[in-house]
A and B are shown apart, each in its own frame.
Chain A
């Protein structure tokens, strides 16, 4: 009978938390009786264990990054209606847009063709074309699967939320891909959270939603003095004092446990303190980039002012990933909308931002590869939407939801391939179009997760929420 008791308690109360040790949902709060919690094991043999998720906030121009469109140069300055491609403006093709902010000055159709603001060239054995703003990423082309046929349905920056959750900004908030991974899989680290966010967010600062707070991303800062909230004592205790103080707490908790037998909370609480104490050391250690060689630091561009900030984040990401953090989400681009939002001055804006991310991103790919970590890690490079083939104002591009590019590399992913295509103007994804959740489906399939097995009672997911695995890019 004893074992039966244990079984019930496990089902009812023990949750794996952000740190992967027991977090409790007392009295079954988190878990409806109908949805037992996942056991933390993959549903099938995974090809990857970890994800590094790079997200460019604001909307990267697909034509000037990974989907070059020479026809834009040919027809520069012409109205789309006066080109052979006028059919891209067919209203039937654009009806899938759901407009959250009616009458907004941004996110509208732009019909005067804006030429490419940079050149592009072929890279590697695959000969895949990448723009001149991303030469370092280009040099990794043979490691990368480019997906040139993404689409989304929000013409405004709420699409950032949509890219992570699969739901339009006007719909209720649902968990993001990182939270699902955190929920579905057990921890690989005893000392570190398994879902980490670094960098600015605006439209939704949460990930877990109905999965509950235990599955939220833990925010870290690249700040050696304050990497994590409340990680430094403020009461003047030395590390040794604090350890002895925690030992007292631990002893007293154990004695109290005799008065409250068979109470799983006490043990979980004690464990949370042990791990908190370990985290206090482990997080600053993981973020201590000075432990890296000068050569490695250079690989991420730490010595250059433009690349330093993002380089530090990516080097930190590699160190965290190496130490077992499952999902590291890095947001690039300040401001509410996101820095990539180039409604004007696209050339100078994109050139500057690309410079910030190009070298460090190639750095993390190369570094993971030489350490053998790329065999167990997926790197995703994404953005919420592309930008209009037409010009906005004098020298900008507007938001564009009908076709844009992302890429993936690493464990289980073919290198040097291109999946999908947009039309000649880069307007619509016309070949193998992928809604944003296809990326989630692909990540899940590599991580060994069957998302339909993770459903939570009372929160129905739609088919579209699950997406379709992009099999063509898988090894």
Chain B
């Protein structure tokens, strides 16, 4: 027996009982049912969507009693009752979901029995088009009463007068400065900044022009626009995309340049169409690339649709995926019209200058991959039920369509947009690689010939020889560590001293203290490091890292370790994980003895000597441009000198794994010669194919494809010649050569595909609708997303500016003007301050969508500058507007997760203000600003997470919870502990206790302690003189994490 039929049975029973009840009470003429309380809400909840203002199925409206009477459904054999109580599936209303509940049916039954009385002046539901948020935004008709007064202040002053409210005075200056710095830069003011007497408007202007403004507000918009780094297994990308940081940097830069909000929207939605050959703009399309979802195209597009509509229009279009929207005039068809805008688009990664591996370097951007991709309506939202009888045209929701929507015009793309391989930097890169191979082959041959000559001479003279030639490379980097050289080194950590003409690492740590060169070392280099290991706990390892990339998580390193009887060892760090190689020499390393470690590196080959004694040669698996870094792992050490030189070609390195020099045979020389022929042919082919592309596609030069193909044949022959020297492949190679020679004679040259300068992110299944054809990328784009962007940013669009202003207001004041920040539809009641919202929206549009000027307007208002305290509040004001809807005081807000961490580092003068670049993994040792932390579904900072960090799936508004895990994080996390220590070191140790307390209060809370606070603090310090612990107490105060 199913539960459902049981329920229906009980419903029927109830109706029957009620009928009896009604019958017996006829004539008492006393109404027990209140239509507005017991009936209308039920009808509204369950029936209005189809029988109200949105739709009038069967020409029936249930939103007024008179409408129901007119339709004669309330009569004696009430159709209404019959339909809501029917057990027949096709008859019962509502058709979807559960039947009405028993008590609801009872109420309706009784109400009808009592005469179906309703209010006399009952109005039907307003027409959706008359909804406030769908009206064109207009400047308030009566203008600003206050003349030159700030329009926000003028608005509220008028309100206070009418309502009899008395606002709070301005916050005291230091509190206000703290509020301002945190609001605009996310970093607290320093003591000097707090002491400054600069006028506030000037401070605001300066902060808006500081690069930290862009970083602070970028994080806000990253919430709204759903920034997320990629997630996946290994190199498999499942969610979002690699290199999305370029979009983050674009947001930061755009805000700092004060790019218009409208332009930002255009670039994010259609950067590939409006500036197809500008990587700076293409990066903006990361907004769309972020919704990439490997396993399902429809889920991917659902996210794109939902969040584009929510972020920019405050519309819940997503509710119309399966059926018409229940509350807003958005139809099921509208959903798929909106989808059609995005239907052709796809994600790809294009090469960027530098590293050629697209997994490591590149730009993620969108493009229209399949111009003919069809959009179909999915019945009940089910992908498998696509109605293929009808193609759906791209367009906005019909109720919002106006002349501002211009049909999409296909856009012809410039060459580099659809042939990224012919970009000049890429061609150059390709040529350089071919050239490098060639140079290497030449060097190898030279080396071989030299060795052969030496070997022959040795045989002739029968004397031992040395292959070491004198070192004479050009010096590129030298430091004798006699004094601190901030220009050369980035110094991380505090536990080091320059003393006695050398650098000493004084506390053994797991590389928490290190020096990293600010410049990269040459690719081929020789490095000598003189050092002494002075102590440590177990490993006592001292050495050098090279090829250290920007994030610091990839490098190679060679170190001398005192432990285990002593050794010199080569290892790699890949994505923060150490991998140890078998390149190791066991030899006693003594404490306090000077060693000189010498590294020679050419391409992937490295030779290591210690005090002039050759230890090992090794083939590095990878190389990358990078810096060097002094390392002391679980060791204290003195460093005496370091020197880096170019490695001249004349220096010969020992081959990996081959400790004694091998005899070179004439056969090896022959092999090297063949390799050189191949390298030359490949280089020539590279030149010719580029010339051919340039001639045919760019009209530059005389190259022809035929020439290139001829060269490719040479490459193939040279390759076969090389294979012929290997006995295993010799036979086949000989056949190949004769075939290829035949081809040459017949003029039969091979063809070749374009160079790989781009990679498309593929779904698990080949979804034909989304993929580009095999013939490369289309040379045009549909222009649909441009049409969308132009429509959204049209000055008459009723939603775009209102939604933007609401987000900005929320982040200045802590409460939004429209509570439902992602839903401006019919369920959003007319906001209390609609006039202000509209006025600010007009200002935004008319200023050219200038966000800095909007910030300026808000921050310079008295309204924003009010005290956030209730102290001395007018009692009447508090009673009339206790929840501060009229902003008679400022709202206190808790710092967002990022601001807490950045502030802790900043107060300890430990914050690294380096801007931009790939994300860094969260770690207590990383000092970059928090917005540069890796932020993905599976990989994010635990500390930030504790403080309500943005949900990567969508975060239109941060939560501000208070949970004990936050207290634990501030009490016990390594970050908080380190911060307290660092902050403590910023205070002069000569300060008296009282001076220390006063300065610490000012630095951390931006205010002086009052007498009681001073007394309590001093009595603690008398008992616990450790100043760092006092700082711990201060950063755990409510007033630290709150922005007052």
Contacts and interface: CB of A to CB of B under 8 A. Distances in A.
Interface of A: 1, 4-5, 8, 12, 15, 17-19, 22-30, 32-33, 98, 100-104, 170, 172-173, 205-206, 209, 212-214, 218, 228-235, 237, 241-242, 244-246, 248-249, 251-253, 255-256, 259-263, 265-266, 268-270, 272-273, 275-277, 279-280, 336, 432, 458, 460, 462-463, 468-469, 471
Contact of B963 (A18, A27, A228): A18
B177 to A, nearest CB: 17
Contact of A19 (B298, B963, B971, B973): B963
Interface stretch (B244-252, B795-803, B814-822): B814-822
A245 B1024 contact: yes
A231 B1036 CA distance: 15
A205 B961 contact: no
Contacts of A265: 892, 894, 962, 1038, 1042
B387 to A, nearest CB: 17
Given A23-B963, A25-B961, A32 B819 contact: yes
Interface stretch (B77-85, B581-589, B664-672, B1025-1033): B1025-1033
A213 B958 CA distance: 10
Contacts of B971: 230, 233, 242, 246, 273, 276
Contact of A230 (B819, B948, B972): B972
B814 A103 contact: no
Given A245-B1029, A256-B1039, A104 B964 contact: no
B98 A463 contact: yes
A469 to B, nearest CB: 7
Contacts of A246: 971, 1033, 1036
B593 interface: no
Given A102-B764, A269-B1038, 5 more contacts: A22-B962, A235-B977, A235-B981, A256-B1038, A261-B869
A237 B981 CA distance: 13
B968 A24 contact: no
Interface stretch (B437-445, B512-520, B533-541, B1012-1020): B1012-1020
Contacts of B1029: 235, 237, 241, 245
30 contacts: A1-B879, A5-B879, A5-B882, A12-B883, A18-B963, A19-B964, A23-B961, A24-B961, A25-B961, A26-B892, A26-B960, A27-B815, A28-B819, A30-B961, A100-B296, A103-B765, A214-B961, A229-B946, A229-B968, A229-B969, A230-B972, A235-B972, A237-B1029, A244-B1023, A245-B1029, A252-B1016, A253-B1037, A253-B1039, A262-B870, A272-B966
Nearest to B872: A261
Nearest to A15: B961
A23 B962 contact: yes
A61 B973 CA distance: 43
B957 interface: yes
B964 A276 contact: yes
Contacts of B764: 101-104
Contacts of A275: 964, 967
Contact of B969 (A100, A230, A242): A230
Most buried by B among A5, A26, A468: A26
B1038 A266 contact: yes
Contacts of A432: 2
B938 interface: yes
Most buried by B among A4, A244, A248, A336: A248
Contacts of A5: 878-879, 882
Contacts of B1028: 235
Contact of A260 (B871, B948, B1033, B1041): B871
Contacts of A212: 959, 961
Contacts of A1: 879
B963 A213 contact: yes
A369 to B, nearest CB: 30
B805 interface: no
Nearest to A257: B1038
B295 interface: yes
B76 to A, nearest CB: 32
A374 to B, nearest CB: 26
A348 B823 CA distance: 54
Contacts of A462: 97
A263 B892 contact: yes
A173 B303 CA distance: 12
A276 B967 contact: yes
A373 B951 CA distance: 38
B465 interface: no
Nearest to A232: B972
Contact of A234 (B892, B972, B1017): B972
Nearest to B1011: A255
A234 B943 CA distance: 15
Most buried by A among B299, B319, B967: B967
Query: 7 tightest A-B contacts by CB?
Result: A276-B967, A276-B964, A230-B968, A235-B977, A102-B765, A26-B960, A468-B3
A175 B1028 CA distance: 42
Most buried by B among A234, A279, A432: A234
A181 to B, nearest CB: 17
B912 to A, nearest CB: 22
Contacts of B295: 100-102
A232 B976 CA distance: 12
B963 A214 contact: yes
A94 to B, nearest CB: 12
A25 B959 contact: yes
B233 interface: yes
B893 A26 contact: yes
A229 B965 contact: yes
Contacts of B883: 8, 12, 28
A248 B869 contact: no
A359 B296 CA distance: 41
A411 B145 CA distance: 68
Contact of B819 (A33, A234, A237): A33
Contacts of A173: 953
Contacts of A18: 963, 965
Interface in B1-21: 2-4
B871 A255 contact: no
A173 B239 CA distance: 15
B891 interface: yes
B974 interface: yes
Contacts of A206: 951
A29 B963 contact: no
B1010 interface: yes
Given A26-B893, A249-B1033, A252-B1016, A259 B871 contact: yes
Contacts of B1032: 235, 237, 245
A19 B966 CA distance: 12
Contacts of A268: 962
B456 to A, nearest CB: 60
B873 to A, nearest CB: 8
B980 interface: yes
Contacts of B942: 229
A20 B882 CA distance: 26
Contacts of A261: 869-871
A249 B891 CA distance: 23
B1033 A252 contact: yes
B869 A471 contact: no
Nearest to B381: A171
A255 B1010 contact: yes
B175 to A, nearest CB: 10
Interface string B498-513: 0000000000000000
Contacts of A28: 815, 819, 883
Contacts of A266: 1038
Given A8-B882, A234-B977, A263-B892, A27 B814 contact: yes
A225 to B, nearest CB: 13
A204 to B, nearest CB: 9
A230 B973 CA distance: 5
Given A261-B869, A273-B1036, A276-B968, A252 B963 contact: no
